């Protein structure tokens, strides 16, 4: 009996609908090739259940290359008394003794990897296996024979045909070795058609052909190249949309809370801190993403978009720690310094992109604070070093200890040390490029934000020569310096990735610096009657303008805010499935459909790393398309492109102008792809394309498009 209730329900439904057909198998002997495959298991489940239900006294002979392994998988089928097993390959198996009244030929290699790497073997299994089975049928003279073919015999479905008719005369490209399975099935069908002819041309057999495709159900391999099986696997073992959304929402709230708490401690007037916070994060969280949508960079608004909460968590922790330590005068607490340093060290493994700037800014903040507090105004550079070096070394050691413990734990769990080589290489490349502002346009809005941050950084450096004891000025200057260093680090890294619109990472910092200046300089000047009238007037104008900008930013969040609430409401009610309908999910499903785990693939996309990870394939390239900023990497890519036969390419690459990649690189790629490749197929929404190298002409030269 079936061991799972779903299987039992399906089998019962089949028997209820086919009850009138089973008497034809009374006292029959059915020979089944491929009896342990997806089709074969279900044929056995149904046939053996009918055998018991209707007392058919039917005998089954199953052909399998490894009946023992199948017995471990489905013992209730393998050990059924009505089943006899023959061990062998479908191409050369030994014929069973005794009569056979019915034959089901369901043996085939449903492996995309075998089809790609060993097309000859795939073709032979289809053709020679069918030839051998037909020879058995000719000898045993069964009453009926069924051959399970495939919808692949139709070839690629033309765009103008919505439903493929059985009499469609098209077919796969016979010159493409990747069509070995499809062509093998076509040849096998031809063998069956010949065997149906009367002697002496054929064997006079009664054969039915079923062109099967697009099945789902128990026993379907979840790790093979079947897209629906992969979706089921991901749903069973992955994280739910609601849970992921909730986690990202909590992180977002924590980040916002840390920022607000930090601003409250560096500003004298709470309302100014609140206004700065609301204005800054309305711009970053709502207006900028909306601009990205309007510019068609991203066609949807993702309310749990993970970049901001994941990348902002540890920088926010560092900002809060700086402001809290300065406001509460806890700099001399070694335990607190080491605790924060260890936490930020762990943050470099949480997200290296933002973790390194956060840790670096924290260490420099500590060093700056040590100099301001411990070195007299006329102190020498050697005095600076003596004050800062122990504090910096202490923080670095605490951070390295935390990183070491985590890496050791991971190595112990996985029995291998994590390989951070490529990650560290990316960091060095991105920071070098970003520091020199290489990808950024000269005339760009980043200049205004960068000037504010650089002014704050300059103020922090200048304050080293203006040290004085008492009041909150020394600690505040160290805080401003630490925040400015972090802003420079974050901006350098993300701008180094050539994301033209990553300047929003500077917006909260820049507006915080402006807010601090207004809070501590301009507002007191306005209320100070001894201040020159023109200075009071200018301070009032600047302060009012800042307030207007902040209020406008907060008020203008209604449009994306409404969209956010709408999408969140739909997800909460289960009305949408954003992960399954997103371009990324579409591309992942397409790659899984076209490739087999373990394959090596050439994928040109900003998200190639995700596609390889999800499909369990290996990359031809050392990096994804979005990180091609080193000339040697680009040249290596173009060289490998000359050797490639098949390429998966993001549709935006062919458009050249994308917000992520270097335009010159994209232009070269687009030219090469258009010149030497033709489109073979594409994902359902056209997001990812599979290109094949143009075929050679009669002279053996490669066809090239002008």
Q: Has residue 232 been placed in a domain?
A: no
Cα separation of 180 and 174, whole Å? 8
Asked if residue 485 and residue 415 are part of one domain, the reply reads yes
E strands, 59-159, are 59-64, 83-87, 102-105, 144-150
Asked if residue 342 and residue 194 are part of one domain, the reply reads no
pLDDT of 696: 59
pLDDT of 576: 43
pLDDT of 434: 54
pLDDT per residue as tens digits for the range 508-545 = 888 888 888 888 888 887 777 777 777 777 877 877 88
Chosen domain end from 165, 194, 220: 220
pLDDT per residue as tens digits for the range 472-484 = 456 788 889 999 9
pLDDT of 148: 93
Asked if residue 482 and residue 606 are part of one domain, the reply reads no
Q: Has residue 227 been placed in a domain?
A: no
Query: Which residue range(s) make up the domain with 588?
Result: 582-693
pLDDT of 372: 84
Q: How crowded is residue 153: how many other Cβ atoms within 10 Å of its Cβ?
A: 22
Q: Which of 364-368, 572-576, 601-605 has the highest mean pLDDT?
A: 364-368
Task: Give the pLDDT band of residue 694 (cuts 50, 70, 90).
Answer: confident
Cα separation of 101 and 56, whole Å? 14
Chosen domain end from 220, 248, 279: 220
Cα separation of 406 and 390, whole Å? 24
Average pLDDT rounded to a whole number, residues 150-160: 83
pLDDT of 293: 45
* Mean pLDDT for the chain overall: 78
Asked if residue 466 and residue 393 are part of one domain, the reply reads yes
Asked if residue 318 and residue 420 are part of one domain, the reply reads yes
Asked if residue 196 and residue 104 are part of one domain, the reply reads yes
Q: Has residue 699 been placed in a domain?
A: no
Number of structural domains in the chain: 3
Asked if residue 687 and residue 632 are part of one domain, the reply reads yes
Cα separation of 283 and 279, whole Å? 6
Q: Which two tokens stand for residue 207?
A: 């054969």
| Contact criterion met (CB below 8 Å) for 147 and 207 | yes
Q: Look up the pTM and report it.
A: 0.57
Rounded percentage of the chain residues whose pLDDT exceeds 70? 74
DSSP sequence for 624-639: -GGG--SHHHHHHHHH
- Tell me, rounded to whole angstroms, the distance of Cα 285 from its chain centroid: 22
Using the predicted structure, report yes or no on whether residue 367 has a pLDDT greater than 70: yes
Q: Is the dihedral of CA 598, 604, 605, 606 positive or negative?
A: positive
pLDDT of 38: 86
Average pLDDT rounded to a whole number, residues 430-448: 59
Asked if residue 295 and residue 323 are part of one domain, the reply reads yes
pLDDT of 170: 83
Q: Has residue 252 been placed in a domain?
A: yes
CATH number at residue 162: 3.40.50.720
Q: Has residue 606 been placed in a domain?
A: yes
Asked if residue 43 and residue 151 are part of one domain, the reply reads yes
pLDDT of 236: 61
pLDDT of 305: 52
Asked if residue 247 and residue 135 are part of one domain, the reply reads no
Average pLDDT rounded to a whole number, residues 581-600: 78
Q: Has residue 308 been placed in a domain?
A: yes
Using the predicted structure, report yes or no on whether residue 419 has a pLDDT greater than 80: no
Q: How crowded is residue 90: how many other Cβ atoms within 10 Å of its Cβ?
A: 23
Q: Has residue 617 been placed in a domain?
A: yes
pLDDT of 494: 64
Asked if residue 684 and residue 563 are part of one domain, the reply reads no
Q: Is the dihedral of CA 497, 499, 501, 504 positive or negative?
A: negative
pLDDT per residue as tens digits for the range 443-467 = 666 677 778 888 888 888 888 776 5
Cα separation of 180 and 152, whole Å? 10
Chosen domain end from 159, 185, 220: 220
| Contact criterion met (CB below 8 Å) for 30 and 102 | yes
Asked if residue 37 and residue 145 are part of one domain, the reply reads yes
Antiparallel, parallel or unpaired: β 144-150 and 207-212:
parallel
Q: Has residue 115 been placed in a domain?
A: yes
Cα separation of 507 and 439, whole Å? 19
Helices 507-517 and 533-555, packing angle to 10 deg? 150
């Amino acid at each position: 009996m079936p061991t799972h209730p779903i299987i039992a329900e399906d089998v019962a439904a089949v028997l209820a609908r086919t009850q009138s057909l089973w008497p034809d198998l009374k006292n029959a002997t059915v020979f089944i090739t491929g009896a342990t495959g997806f089709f074969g298991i279900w044929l056995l489940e149904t046939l053996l259940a009918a055998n018991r239900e209707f007392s058919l006294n039917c005998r089954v002979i199953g052909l399998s290359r490894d009946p023992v392994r199948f017995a471990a998988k489905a013992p209730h089928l393998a050990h059924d008394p009505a089943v006899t097993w023959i061990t062998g390959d479908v191409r050369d198996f030994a014929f069973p003794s005794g009569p056979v009244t019915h034959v089901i030929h369901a043996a085939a290699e449903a492996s995309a990897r075998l089809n790609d790497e060993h097309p000859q073997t795939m073709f032979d299994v289809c053709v020679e296996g069918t030839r051998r089975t037909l020879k058995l049928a000719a000898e045993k003279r069964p009453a009926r024979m069924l051959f399970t073919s495939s919808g692949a015999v139709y070839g690629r479905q033309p765009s103008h045909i919505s439903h493929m008719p059985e009499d469609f005369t098209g077919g796969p490209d016979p010159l493409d070795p990747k069509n070995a399975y499809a062509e093998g099935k076509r040849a096998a069908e031809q063998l069956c058609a010949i065997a149906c002819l009367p002697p002496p041309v054929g064997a006079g057999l009664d054969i039915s052909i079923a062109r099967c495709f697009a099945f789902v159900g128990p026993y379907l391999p979840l790790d093979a190249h079947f897209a629906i099986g992969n979706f089921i696997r991901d749903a069973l073992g992955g994280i739910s949309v609601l849970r992921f959304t909730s986690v990202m929402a909590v992180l977002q709230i924590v980040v916002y809370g840390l920022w607000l708490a930090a601003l409250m401690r560096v500003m004298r007037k709470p309302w100014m801190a609140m206004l700065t916070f609301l204005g800054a994060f309305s711009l970053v969280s709502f207006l900028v993403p909306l601009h990205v949508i309007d510019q068609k960079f991203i066609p949807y608004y993702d309310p749990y978009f993970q970049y901001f909460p994941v990348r902002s968590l540890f920088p926010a922790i560092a900002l809060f720690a700086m402001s809290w330590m300065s406001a509460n005068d806890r700099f001399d607490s070694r335990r607190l310094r080491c605790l924060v340093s260890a936490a930020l060290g762990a943050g470099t493994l949480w997200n290296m992109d933002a973790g390194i700037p956060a840790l670096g800014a924290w260490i420099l903040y500590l060093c700056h604070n040590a100099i301001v507090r411990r070195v007299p105004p006329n102190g020498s550079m050697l005095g600076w070093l003596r004050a800062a070096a122990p504090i910096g070394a202490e923080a670095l050691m605490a951070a390295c200890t935390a990183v070491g413990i985590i890496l050791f734990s991971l190595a112990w769990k996985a029995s291998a040390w994590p390989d951070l080589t490529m990650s560290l290489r990316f960091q060095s490349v991105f920071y070098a490029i970003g520091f020199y502002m290489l990808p950024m346009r000269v005339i760009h809005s980043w200049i205004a934000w960068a000037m504010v941050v650089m002014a704050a950084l300059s103020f922090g450096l200048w304050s080293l020569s203006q040290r004085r004891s008492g009041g909150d000025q020394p600690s505040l200057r160290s805080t401003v310096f630490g925040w400015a260093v972090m802003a420079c680090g974050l901006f350098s890294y993300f701008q180094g990735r050539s994301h033209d619109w990553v300047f929003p990472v500077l917006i909260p910092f820049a507006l915080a610096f402006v807010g601090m200046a207004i809070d501590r300089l301009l507002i007191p000047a306005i209320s100070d009657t001894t201040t020159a009238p023109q200075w009071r007037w200018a301070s009032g104008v600047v302060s009012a303008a800042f307030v207007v900008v902040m209020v406008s930013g907060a008020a203008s969040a209604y449009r994306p805010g409404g969209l956010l609430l709408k999408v969140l409401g739909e997800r909460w009610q289960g009305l949408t499935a954003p992960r399954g309908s997103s371009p990324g999910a579409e591309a992942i499903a397409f790659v899984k459909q076209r490739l087999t785990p373990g394959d090596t693939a050439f994928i040109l996309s900003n998200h190639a790393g995700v596609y390889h990870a999800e499909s369990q394939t290996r990359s031809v390239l050392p990096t994804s398309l979005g990180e091609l900023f080193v000339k040697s990497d680009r040249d290596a890519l173009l060289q490998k492109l000359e050797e490639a036969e098949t390429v998966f390419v993001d549709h935006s690459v062919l458009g050249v102008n994308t917000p992520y990649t270097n335009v010159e690189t994209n232009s070269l790629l687009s030219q090469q792809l258009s010149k030497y490749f033709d489109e073979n197929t594409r994902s359902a929404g056209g997001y990812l394309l599979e290109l094949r190298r143009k075929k050679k002409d009669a002279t053996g030269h490669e066809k090239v498009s002008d």
